[in-house]
Structure 1
Amino acid sequence: MPTASHERSLDSGAVKSRPVPDHVPPEMVRDFSLFTSPGMLPTANGDPHAAVACVHAGPPIFYSTSNTRDGRGTWVITRASDQRRVLQDTETFSSHRSIFASVLGESWPMIPLELDPPFHGVFRSLLNPLLSPKRVMALEPAVRERAIKLIDRIAASGTSCDIMKDFAVPFAVNIFLRFIGLSDDGLETFVGWARDLLHGDKEQRPPAARAIVAFIDELATERRKEPVDDFMTFIVKAKVEGRLLSDEEVRGIGVLVFVAGLDTVSAAICFDLAHLARNPKDQELLRSEPDRIAVAAEELLRAYSTIQMIRVATKDVDFKGAPIRKGDYVSCATMIANRDPAEFECPNEIDLAREDNRHAAFGYGPHRCLGSHLARREIVIGLEEWLARIPAFRIKTGTEPITFGGHVFGIENLILDWS
């Protein structure tokens, strides 16, 4: 639960490629990057998802010279079945990269995302009940209440809005606050941190990251002294293997809940509403038959997946003819897997009635998104309440949404109009 701007938010500048390692055969190198290939750089009215679908015309695995936020090369796995094989094999392909902590020059992991077995399973078992379908059902009234409040405020203020700024980010931040047991009192502060982290320049991003870490640490300290019935109290009182969690472990969990729940949900909502704004027939279908929204949301998750998952090889291995060596980065991009013609009929067509939609938007294997149940409900509720409260909408004349690729795909400046 963090648009492509999140990946830029954790970047220190322009992405620069590094030399191709000696063990990579020249014929396996391809001029492709989720950051810099055509359609990946900020583009008005772009379609980065269609742009990456072109890789399926090529080999099942190739080497990209610059495919991370810091310009590292990666092996790119293009077939969904091969991605599943990589993501399932945690012994060969590690998840530990310290993505958030590296912004601060540190190396602690977000938990359980960046832990490998057996420690991953220990923390996953601890956290699973907090984000189970039953728990999400209990949170649903609060999620719906927040969506309604935001949308009604938007409707009362005029006939257009910036979806990311006015709805998607405040909605996602509020759900984070509700989940950890806090009121909306600090909403604007959190939105400010999120804005600086996701959209700020390189001077703004580290302070925002430090503010988030300081907040998590301070809240944990308060809950140890004065426990209440909320998420953070549960975490600071929880035990793994007979011991309390360390400060770093509590921080790793708290930061993951904040960062992961913010960017992916807000990006998904924006891509979905952009699609409906550009496709009036699909919009009308969901208005006239709201029961279809849950199924449609799955197709939109498939078509507009946002996450690239990176694994690090723990040993030398030959994979589909690729000589992967210990320390090599391996990319399993959901937006590539979900456009695989071997998995989906007419994968570049968006069919809101598509059934048996076994997409990989939430990943696969032991690290499949812990918050997928909550994310689904946030997206579906957001769409339900938007369509119920806002008249037929379109992209405002004279404006152009800006899309971009990266570690997490995103969209900005989506101005919708219903005048």
Structure 2
Amino acid sequence: MVRNFSLFTSPGMPPTANGDPHAAVTCVHAGPPIFYAPNNTRDGRGTWVMTRARDQRTVLQDTETFSSHRSIFASALGENWPMIPLELDPPAHGIFRSLLNPLFSPQRVRVLEPAVRERAIALIDGIVASGTSCDVMKDFAFPFAVNIFLRFLGLPDDRLAIFVGWGQDLLHGDAVKRKAAAQRIVAFIDDLATLRRKAPVDDFMTFLVQAQVEGRPLTDEEVRSIGVLLFVAGLDTVAAAIGFDLAYLARNPKDQQWLRSKPTRIVVAAEELLRAYPTVQMIRVATRDIDFDGVPIRKGDYISCATMIANRDPAEFECPNTIDLAREENCHTAFAHGPHRCLGSHLARREIVIGLEEWLARIPAFRIKGGTAPITHGGHVFGIDNLILDWS
């Protein structure tokens, strides 16, 4: 029941030119449905790996047995506090989730959509005006996705590159870089909260410092932990998803042309690309000893529910390693499952769809530029860099 597997160090996971970490993880489906991976975390701790999507759903739904309180961010500081609401268990989780849900509702996203589309168009038109190739992550994916999130938080984007750098160091740097980035992010969130208490405006941080739960104001620590979560969540995942999507279309000109000829199918295609190229591994901690389908999970054990493994489960998806942009009834778990399903999923979906719509409408048939190679990596959050697209 022990396998030498890690989303950080197994073949295809470290930074790799022209890599495909999502395809690399599919090897686990040839083995036992649940196994122990001794080094499947950034700090070298072991996890049980759930390979079946149905088992992952069971774990993610059972918050009494499998806790989400891991202090992922705080551990970089040598501290132990939860990001709210991601690392809270019920009933506390529900209290804060109810506070935040209206801010990310489909109705709220519809209000933001014109600004999202305007940003995409402005960036792409600038790219077209400057030539016939670009580094799509630096020139489009990060400036687009991160700007939208900063705008949502009420932050200017003149520090966008600095914020993205913090996110890269936090998620993909060594222990020293992670700690320094975490310290900078906490200091920034604390300073912003102090400013908004003194001079409130119509933005998210003002909402937080004025909000109440159960008839009381949020504490400084609660404001910080919510602010940190939303700040970090907006720095990487949507940009990475857009990058993987455009890399796929660059390598598959028939699918690219099909979407150009049928732009109304982009919404369905985006769901298939989310299934095929999700970016996040969820970790849970066992709160008690349990026999899980014959597996002796013990209190304190880590359990990995990696979206990239569940979304390639042959028991859930016909030909799971084939990307079929016309696939219907796509019940993927790119945004997780259960009470902790991604708070920002509605916004993320619209960003991805709008980004693809405007890119395909404005950029001619594109390919990966000759002589270049995208760099992919696995880890807690999968990513892609050096994606140079050419349409000369």
Q: TM-score, normalised by structure 2?
A: 0.97
Whole-angstrom distance in 2 between the partners of 1:202 and 1:185: 27
Kindly indicate whether residue 355 of structure 2 is the aligned counterpart of residue 382 of structure 1.
yes
Question: Percent of aligned pairs with the same residue?
Answer: 82
Contact 2:166 2:181 in 1 (8 A): yes
1:236-266, Cα deviation, whole Å (9 max, x unpaired): 1111111111111111111111111221101
Whole-angstrom distance in 2 between the partners of 1:276 and 1:290: 14
- How far residue 199 of structure 1 moved from its aligned partner, in angstroms, is 5.8
- How far residue 385 of structure 1 moved from its aligned partner, in angstroms, is 1.0
- Match of 1:309, SS state, is strand
Kindly indicate whether residue 234 of structure 2 is the aligned counterpart of residue 258 of structure 1.
no
| Aligned 1:324-363 pairs, distance under 5 A | 324-363=297-336
| Aligned 1:32-51 pairs, distance under 5 A | 32-51=5-24
Equivalent position of 1:403 in the other structure? 376
- How far residue 195 of structure 1 moved from its aligned partner, in angstroms, is 4.7
What amino acid sits opposite 1:271 in the alignment?
F
- How far residue 200 of structure 1 moved from its aligned partner, in angstroms, is 5.3
- How far residue 410 of structure 1 moved from its aligned partner, in angstroms, is 1.1
Contact 2:164 2:236 in 1 (8 A): no
Whole-angstrom distance in 2 between the partners of 1:130 and 1:413: 34
The alpha-carbon distance between structure 1 residues 361 and 244, as it changes in their structure 2 partners (threshold 3 A), is same
- Match of 2:244, SS state, is helix
Residue among 263, 271, 287 paired with 2:260:
287
Equivalent position of 2:269 in the other structure? 296
Equivalent position of 1:31 in the other structure? 4
- Match of 1:161, SS state, is strand
Whole-angstrom distance in 2 between the partners of 1:340 and 1:398: 34
What amino acid sits opposite 1:354 in the alignment?
R
1:372-398, Cα deviation, whole Å (9 max, x unpaired): 000001111111111111111100100
| Aligned 1:110-125 pairs, distance under 5 A | 110-125=83-98
- Match of 2:303, SS state, is strand
What amino acid sits opposite 1:116 in the alignment?
D
Kindly indicate whether residue 76 of structure 2 is the aligned counterpart of residue 103 of structure 1.
yes
Kindly indicate whether residue 124 of structure 2 is the aligned counterpart of residue 148 of structure 1.
no
With 285-294 and 177-186 compared, the bigger mean Cα shift is at 177-186
- How far residue 158 of structure 1 moved from its aligned partner, in angstroms, is 1.6
- Match of 2:138, SS state, is helix
Contact 1:271 1:304 in 2 (8 A): yes
- Match of 2:75, SS state, is helix
Equivalent position of 1:172 in the other structure? 145
Equivalent position of 1:270 in the other structure? 243
Whole-angstrom distance in 2 between the partners of 1:164 and 1:200: 18
Whole-angstrom distance in 2 between the partners of 1:323 and 1:205: 33
Residue among 206, 215, 218 paired with 1:245:
218
Equivalent position of 2:59 in the other structure? 86
1:248-296, Cα deviation, whole Å (9 max, x unpaired): 1111111111111221101100000000000001111111111111100
Equivalent position of 1:139 in the other structure? 112
- Match of 2:326, SS state, is coil
Contact 1:170 1:191 in 2 (8 A): no
Contact 1:96 1:116 in 2 (8 A): yes
Whole-angstrom distance in 1 between the partners of 2:372 and 2:381: 23
- How far residue 325 of structure 1 moved from its aligned partner, in angstroms, is 0.4
Whole-angstrom distance in 2 between the partners of 1:364 and 1:376: 16
5+ unaligned residues in a row in structure 2: which ranges?
A: none
- How far residue 141 of structure 1 moved from its aligned partner, in angstroms, is 1.0
The alpha-carbon distance between structure 1 residues 313 and 198, as it changes in their structure 2 partners (threshold 3 A), is closer
Whole-angstrom distance in 2 between the partners of 1:201 and 1:89: 33
Equivalent position of 2:41 in the other structure? 68
What amino acid sits opposite 1:145 in the alignment?
E
| Aligned 1:174-189 pairs, distance under 5 A | 174-189=147-162
- Match of 1:30, SS state, is coil
Contact 1:101 1:108 in 2 (8 A): yes
Whole-angstrom distance in 2 between the partners of 1:88 and 1:163: 37
What amino acid sits opposite 1:129 in the alignment?
P
Whole-angstrom distance in 1 between the partners of 2:129 and 2:163: 24
Give RMSD over aligned pairs: 1.4
- Match of 1:100, SS state, is helix
Whole-angstrom distance in 2 between the partners of 1:191 and 1:239: 31
- How far residue 206 of structure 1 moved from its aligned partner, in angstroms, is 2.9
- Match of 1:104, SS state, is coil
- Match of 2:72, SS state, is coil
With 398-407 and 204-213 compared, the bigger mean Cα shift is at 204-213
Kindly indicate whether residue 197 of structure 2 is the aligned counterpart of residue 224 of structure 1.
yes
- Match of 2:76, SS state, is helix
Instruction: Count residues in correspondence.
Output: 392
What amino acid sits opposite 1:100 in the alignment?
F
Whole-angstrom distance in 2 between the partners of 1:70 and 1:203: 13
- Match of 2:79, SS state, is coil
Q: TM-score, normalised by structure 1?
A: 0.91
Contact 1:261 1:371 in 2 (8 A): no
With 164-173 and 357-366 compared, the bigger mean Cα shift is at 164-173
- Match of 2:159, SS state, is helix
- Match of 2:235, SS state, is helix
